[in-house]
Amino acid sequence: MGSCATLIAGDKKIELPIIIGTENEKAIDISKICKELGYITVDPGFANTGSCKSAITFMDGEKGILRYRGIPVEQLAENSTFVETAYLLINGTLPTETELKAFSSLLTEHSLLHEDMQIFYQNFPERSHPMGILSSMVNALNSFYPYLGESREERINITVTRLLSKVRTMAAMSYKISRGHKVEYSRPDLTYCSNFLHMMFTTPVRPYVENPDFVKALNVFWILHADHEQNCSTSTVRLVGSAKVNLYSAISAGICALWGPLHGGANQAVIEMLETINKNGGDVTPFVKRAKDKDDPFRLMGFGHRVYKTYDPRAKIIKSVCDRLLTATKKHDPLLDIAKKLEDVALSDPYFIDYNLYPNVDFYSGLVLRSLGIPTNMFPVMFAIGRLPGWIAQWKEGQEDPERALIRPCQIYLGPKQRRYVPIEEMDRQVAS
């Protein structure tokens, strides 16, 4: 028997196995506590709870490490494409040239949407948020594409490529329809990222011309967001998937979880914060002062992370992309100047250092999207497209887990004890008296 931890509760004692991961992560298996001791554990936010065993993504928050299937995210951002990284996450290995061509061909083949789906878009209220629309449309895919082949492997492969391709099309379509423009479909001669920019920005009077700097920036943006271990939206996909729902519904739930400002909406919140500072003269000092005031609810968006206790490794990469993109386009963005001032403060002010409030990936990613011409309300959608391969990989791993079970957390009840039902007439008399 391997190493164990001993838990003593009252006059009972139990030996709990210690699980050690490939990177020497240590966990105590508490799965039998309730059955053998009659206790459960309480861990608000699940900050100390491992919900699963996974071979997909490794993070070390203390050292600032992020790897997909063992490969450092820095290497993928430098050398890979988003499609290749998606294949890696979903299938576990980097593809051969033949495998990558076949995967890319499937993505092109499944990029079209059923024409009837456009009717849905045109009937959403005018001010509907793109994330609400995307979640609804992804869930609707199951109605339009119910037949997924004979074998389980075929069903999964076709569903995966449909999602990766059609979500990109649906995002661009929602943008076009919101502007009253003609919908554009993908071109077989363009890559995944280039096709997205084509579908977003081609107009009858200005055809899309591929810009290598833009395509590289979008590839890196999506690679950096492709997976991030058991975050809020990924955990949601796994939880919903544990009920054996179809992949479309699980991803739809993940999109809803990603929507919040503390998760996928953070880069939008950063841009809005930088715009506010810019409108107030660009001086960051009063905003930093407010952020350090414990009695002021104001907070600087894009600083700190739930896991990383040092500089977010993705933030270093996306900052470099941002600098290169603005240099290549010869644009001067005053928001970038403000962002750099805030970063200088965060890296030198003892308050930020003591609380590990370093810039995270959201701090600069919004500036990259802004430089690409993506409207601010589309930022969370861009995050969702990038996170899609990770969600798919996590859902697939959960379905194939031999220890798979319906995820059903416990609770500690703090409500009233048993009490008598009071008829409404008696309630009225009690109130009257």
Domain boundaries, the chain: 4-60, 67-264+382-400, 266-372
Please report which confidence band the pLDDT of residue 152 belongs to, taking 50, 70 and 90 as the band edges. low
Tokens of 432: 């009257």
Reported as a single tens digit per residue, the pLDDT across 337-348 is 899 899 898 888
Whole-number Cα distances in Å, 356 to 228, 306, 311, 347: 19, 10, 8, 10
Tokens of 365: 């990613």
Q: Round to whole Å and give the CA distance between 325 and 327.
A: 5
- Told to judge if 362 belongs to the known catalytic residues of this protein, a careful annotator would answer yes
Q: Is-same-fold flag (67-264+382-400; 266-372)?
A: no
How much is the pLDDT for 148? 53
- Exactly one of 225, 227, 305, 312 is catalytic; which is it? 305
Q: Which residues contact 17 (CB under 8 A, 6 or more apart)?
A: 1, 2, 3, 4, 28, 29
Evaluate if residue 150 carries a pLDDT over 70.
Answer: no
Evaluate if residue 21 carries a pLDDT over 90.
Answer: yes
Evaluate if residue 396 carries a pLDDT over 70.
Answer: yes
Q: Is-contact 385 167, C-beta < 8 A?
A: yes
Evaluate if residue 430 carries a pLDDT over 70.
Answer: yes
Strand-pair partners of 59 = 66
Mean pLDDT for 221-228 is 97
Q: Round to whole Å and give the CA distance between 64 and 71.
A: 14
CATH code of domain 4-60: 2.20.28.60
Q: Which fold has domain 67-264+382-400?
A: Citrate Synthase; domain 1 (1.10.580)
CATH code of domain 266-372: 1.10.230.10
How much is the pLDDT for 1? 47
How much is the pLDDT for 120? 87
How much is the pLDDT for 124? 87
Mean pLDDT for 277-296 is 93
- Told to judge if 189 belongs to the known catalytic residues of this protein, a careful annotator would answer no
Torsion of CA 130, 133, 135, 138, to 10 degrees: -120
Buried b (16+ CB within 10 A) or exposed e, 93-123: eebeeeeeeebbebbbebbebeeebeeebee
The reported pTM is: 0.91
- Exactly one of 110, 227, 263, 362 is catalytic; which is it? 362
What are the backbone dihedrals phi and psi of residue 151, each rounded to the nearest 5 degrees, phi first?
-90, 155
Q: How much of the chain, in percent, has pLDDT values that exceed 70?
A: 97
Evaluate if residue 311 carries a pLDDT over 90.
Answer: no
Q: Which residues contact 47 (CB under 8 A, 6 or more apart)?
A: 306
First-to-last alpha carbon distance for the chain, in angstroms, is 68
Q: Is-contact 40 410, C-beta < 8 A?
A: yes
Q: Round to whole Å and give the CA distance between 346 and 288.
A: 9
Whole-number Cα distances in Å, 256 to 138, 238, 432: 11, 14, 45
